[in-house]
Structure 1
Amino acid sequence: MIGFSLLMYYNFAAWTADGLNVIVESFVDLHGWDYATLLAFSTPAGWLGVLGSFLIAEMINRKGARLVALGGLVALGATMIWFGRVTTPMEYAIGLTLINFLATGTCFNVPGTLLTTWFPRKKGLALGWATMGMSLCTATLVPLMVMLFSRFGVQDTYAVVGGVLIVFGIVSFFWVRNTPEELGCSPDNEKLSKEAMAENLREFNEHKSPFTLPVLLRDRDMWLISVGYGVLWLVDIGVVSQLIPRLISVGYDKQTAIMMFTTAALFCAVFSYFWGWADVKFGTRRTSIAYAFFFAATHACLLVRGSDTFTYFTLLMVGASIAGIKELATSQVGSVYGRYDFAAANRVISTIACLFRVMCFAVIAASLKWTGDFDAAYMFFIFLDFVGAALIYFITTECKGRVDASDAAYAGH
């Protein structure tokens, strides 16, 4: 499940964040459309993609992650094939919206649900490994897409990508199981009798979560998690989606900027595991607060135009910062709501957090329009880092959802 989840996180990052470094430019080069106009579509497309996050998360809650992975990936692949052949900016906007809808809903929610179900105690480490997929995406997607564009052209490149996604979706049906008990395994690979695993599976399938939509909307911790991690996710995507344009704007050529982007991603892969280890070692809440302060320092470094040495130090900071958000946010939901109620709580939390995530494009666009550079956005991001830390501080350390008796001692973080 960790390997499958890694690939899902790769695709989530690819089509909602990292890909914007090349997707927009590819259509500008193909059709001669205005870059700013196409980039502006990213914000409403992301907002509508949030609807996908909620609807598909609700489907996971009702039908399980396995079937949703199959349907969502096949639909995403078909959309990608059509997207490469759009002929107007409006068709581009529609295609980008559908991609955000399916990638956010499927590639974001499915792996988080699976890993929290399979590894309720060790979810921090499992997520640390799996979210390396996002880091690998940051390291490889841009050069991979540039190579494919050069080899096949823009339209056929999107067709190739779409075909791969369809095959991945079909394979996922045979690869994925909603719970470890379905394969005769136990959560966290603990030693359990066959009778205990059968009882776990029965209880999991029969469990009706008390965290209905009205209950969640009145729940203080739901709002603290959603907004606290939502603003941190906003600043994360704000940095990673426009890092190459930022580097070009301060004087680096495109190829050097891509190399630097890849360097940051390699740092990110290492720190994905680090944040997962810290999660298990020190608890999700405390690690998340430290993460927010670390990100504030990163944004401060991005405001400085120094030597090449300082730039690479800043890239190390960027790589370490963008590594943690997905692991920590998902782990926090699991810590507060538990294995049985994760899907019910996450359908609302992920939706609200995604609303904040896509607002980053509006912040960056405003910064570019009114100041001509990214500095105003980075200063606002520093403020949001402290807001996120403050909100996370007030999240409960107790598990409010149902847990297995053997997991009770491990539920609170």
Structure 2
Amino acid sequence: MTEQNTATASKQNNKANSFGGWGWSMIFMCMIAYFIGGGINTDGLNIFVGALSGARGWDRAAMLSWSTYGGWIAILFTFIFGHIIVKKGAKVVFVGTLFLTAIAIYFYGHTQNFAVYAISVAACSILSAGYSLTAPNTIQANWFPRKKGLALGWSTIGYPLCTMIFPFVTNFLMGNFGVESMFTAIAVFVLIFAVISIFWCKNTPEEVGCAPDNDPLSAEEIKASQAAARAYKSPWTMKRLLKTPQTWLIGIGMGLLWMVTVAIVSQLVSRLMGAGYERTAAVGMLSVMGFFGIFGSYIWGFIDLKIGTRKATYIYAAWYAVALLLLIFMANTVTIYLGVFMVGISVGGICNLIPSMIGSVFGRYDFAAASRFISAVTKGICACAYLYNAQSLKLTGSLTAGYVGLIVLCGVAALLVFLIKPVVKPQN
């Protein structure tokens, strides 16, 4: 590559969204994975729980609780998935958990037995720790070590896009074809994506002759980069991670903000119906929230890129606290829509900020090693959202009191993130 061509390529690559063809392809693949994970385990609960409760006569609080139990079990499996990723690469986990999810979601909606339902719900939550958490986050950390914030800003659009589309589509399928047909359609969609991902998913950019961040490297430089990545052995053992304060500060702090997100979104339809809205109108408002979230996902990625992940997280926590206040009071149509708008802007942000925070502190080569534990912590705390909502409904009969507690959690999360300091890398 001549000096002139190198300078031109470097100038083009300095553009924030210059990811290259393969880079954009990986972003879009991860976007679909996030869409599926959010739909099955969060947004879909607005439809699934009510539909199956009515059809089977099961208790709603008990049904929601099993999503939490599955999330807790997923802590162990996040370790397992992370270990497999370190040893075999992210693709194995990504594709394998998608195939198993297709099976689990089918039984989720077809069984008449509550025990089988509980196992299926837990399985869906556990498997999502693979295809929509550890695997895609690692893939993007490998592909975009410097531009990870903005890349995640694009890929995590899958979450608000899911909020906008998934409840509407599933509500339509259920109304026109029945509950079981709705679950069959979801299972088929996941299965097709799993098959395509066998050929689509790439662990690193070097596998297809590309450079991280779409940098203008020669073929020899790319080959050398690939060799270095393969030879690298992370010094971050599980024992070292457990002793490192940053591990816990990131895991708990970001996990609390994820819990707040899931607690709001998974039962927003119920909250709006409690405020007097019909189900159709409430589902429509959820879709509107998802529409705002599409822009929010990119906005948080852009803020991350410009001012850093920690500062972006402070703003994120404060933004959520204000949104929750609006949802608590819901005095009129203006406050309701403003609250929905603010939550919508936030929806895609947390799943952008979590991997970006890990990458910012631990770096590209150590991301997979650090993420296997930190992701487990965030996943476990996030899973508490379902039990949190269930207990709020059981003790107070509404979600309003629970929202007050969520505001407190936003403050605690911001404080923990503030305490994160640069990590000192241990020697092998």
TM-score bracket for the superposition, by shorter chain length: over 0.9
Go from structure 1 to structure 2 and tell me whether the alpha carbon gap of 1:313 and 1:9 turns closer, same or farther (over 3 Å shift): same
Q: Secondary structure at the match of 1:84?
A: helix
Query: What is the deviation of 1:399?
Result: 7.9
Greater mean deviation of Cα atoms: 79-88 or 190-199: 79-88
Contact 1:6 1:130 (C-alpha < 8 Å) held by counterparts? yes
Structure 2 segments unaligned to the other structure (5+ residues): 1-25
Matches within 5 A, 1:267-278: 267-278=292-303
C-alpha distance in 1 between matches for 2:46 and 2:205: 38
C-alpha distance in 1 between matches for 2:330 and 2:159: 27
Query: What is the deviation of 1:37?
Result: 2.5
Structure 2 residue aligned with 1:151: 176
Structure 2 residue aligned with 1:375: 400
Q: 2:251 pairs with 226, 239, 244, which one?
A: 226
Structure 1 residue aligned with 2:13: none
Q: Partner letter of residue 404 of structure 2? A: M
Contact 2:252 2:378 (C-alpha < 8 Å) held by counterparts? yes
Contact 1:80 1:158 (C-alpha < 8 Å) held by counterparts? yes
Q: Partner letter of residue 372 of structure 2? A: R
Structure 1 residue aligned with 2:69: 44
TM-score (norm 2): 0.91
**Identical aligned pairs, as a percentage?**
37
Q: Secondary structure at the match of 2:233?
A: coil
Q: Partner letter of residue 322 of structure 1? A: V
Go from structure 1 to structure 2 and tell me whether the alpha carbon gap of 1:83 and 1:371 turns closer, same or farther (over 3 Å shift): closer
Query: What is the deviation of 1:23?
Result: 1.2
Structure 2 residue aligned with 1:102: 127
Contact 1:336 1:400 (C-alpha < 8 Å) held by counterparts? no
C-alpha distance in 2 between matches for 1:399 and 1:119: 22
Q: Partner letter of residue 193 of structure 1? A: S
Q: 1:259 pairs with 272, 284, 294, which one?
A: 284
Contact 1:267 1:316 (C-alpha < 8 Å) held by counterparts? yes
Go from structure 1 to structure 2 and tell me whether the alpha carbon gap of 1:20 and 1:5 turns closer, same or farther (over 3 Å shift): same
Q: Partner letter of residue 64 of structure 2? A: L
Structure 2 residue aligned with 1:84: 109
Q: 2:337 pairs with 312, 316, 339, which one?
A: 312
C-alpha distance in 2 between matches for 1:101 and 1:15: 12
Contact 2:327 2:335 (C-alpha < 8 Å) held by counterparts? no
Query: What is the deviation of 1:100?
Result: 0.8
Matches within 5 A, 1:5-404: 5-397=30-422, 400=425
Q: Secondary structure at the match of 1:177?
A: coil
Contact 2:160 2:291 (C-alpha < 8 Å) held by counterparts? yes
Q: Partner letter of residue 317 of structure 1? A: M
Q: Secondary structure at the match of 2:365?
A: helix
Q: Secondary structure at the match of 1:359?
A: helix
C-alpha distance in 1 between matches for 2:426 and 2:174: 48
C-alpha distance in 2 between matches for 1:347 and 1:222: 11
The RMSD of aligned alpha carbons is 1.5
Go from structure 1 to structure 2 and tell me whether the alpha carbon gap of 1:387 and 1:58 turns closer, same or farther (over 3 Å shift): same
Query: What is the deviation of 1:398?
Result: 6.0
Q: Partner letter of residue 81 of structure 2? A: I
Structure 1 segments unaligned to the other structure (5+ residues): 403-413
Greater mean deviation of Cα atoms: 234-243 or 298-307: 298-307
TM-score (norm 1): 0.94
Go from structure 1 to structure 2 and tell me whether the alpha carbon gap of 1:399 and 1:300 turns closer, same or farther (over 3 Å shift): farther
Q: Partner letter of residue 403 of structure 2? A: Y
C-alpha distance in 2 between matches for 1:92 and 1:247: 27
C-alpha distance in 2 between matches for 1:390 and 1:230: 13
Contact 1:336 1:401 (C-alpha < 8 Å) held by counterparts? no
Contact 1:53 1:106 (C-alpha < 8 Å) held by counterparts? no
Contact 2:46 2:167 (C-alpha < 8 Å) held by counterparts? yes
C-alpha distance in 1 between matches for 2:423 and 2:69: 36
Q: Partner letter of residue 302 of structure 2? A: W
Query: What is the deviation of 1:253?
Result: 0.7
Render the CA deviation track for 1:202-257: whole Å, top value 9, x for unaligned. Answer: 11112111111001000111111001101111111110111000000111111110
Q: Secondary structure at the match of 1:120?
A: coil
Q: Partner letter of residue 272 of structure 2? A: L
Q: Partner letter of residue 306 of structure 1? A: A
Q: Partner letter of residue 98 of structure 1? A: A
Query: What is the deviation of 1:288?
Result: 0.7
The aligned length equals: 402
C-alpha distance in 2 between matches for 1:202 and 1:87: 52
Query: What is the deviation of 1:175?
Result: 0.7
C-alpha distance in 2 between matches for 1:3 and 1:386: 33
